[in-house]
Amino acid sequence: MLRPLLLLLLALGLSSCILLVEDEPQRPVQPVQPVTPVTPVQPSIVTPGPGSFTYRCSGGTLVVRYLDSNNLQLFYDGAFQNLSLVRRSPTLLFSGGAYTWEWTGSRGTLSVRGQVVLSNCAL
């Protein structure tokens, strides 16, 4: 009598067990290719022109007349000085005689004979 009861308990206990079987064999995981960062493209700096613009600078004001993308005139020392574009990157650099106008796209600097005379110029 004890034996059938023991068999019944054993059968009930085994019926509650779950057998996990995988249907497919596991595939090997492929290595992930590293992502190469893209170098951001620096927007090209453009002049505000054509036209005349008055800049407020540390040290005074400056009127710059942009003739085209390669030439400008700035009013300094009581006359318009002619300058031509000599460099585009990382800033625009216009030069003519003793005068140099450097424009970053938001700020400018005027140098005369290598000395900064007006800085932090903004529209």
Residue ranges and CATH numbers for the domains of the chain are 51-122 (2.40.128)
According to the model, what pLDDT value does residue 8 have? Answer: 58
DSSP secondary structure letter of residue 54: E
**Could you give the CA distance from residue 24 to residue 22 in angstroms, rounded to a whole number?**
6
Phi/psi for 11 (5° steps) reads -65, -40
**Rg (Cα) of the chain, in Å, rounded?**
38
The mean pLDDT values, 10 residues at a time, for the chain of 123 residues are 57 55 65 61 60 92 91 91 91 93 92 96 93
Q: Which of 50, 44, 77 is nearest to 64 (CA)?
A: 50
According to the model, what pLDDT value does residue 5 have? Answer: 57
According to the model, what pLDDT value does residue 2 have? Answer: 58
According to the model, what pLDDT value does residue 41 have? Answer: 46
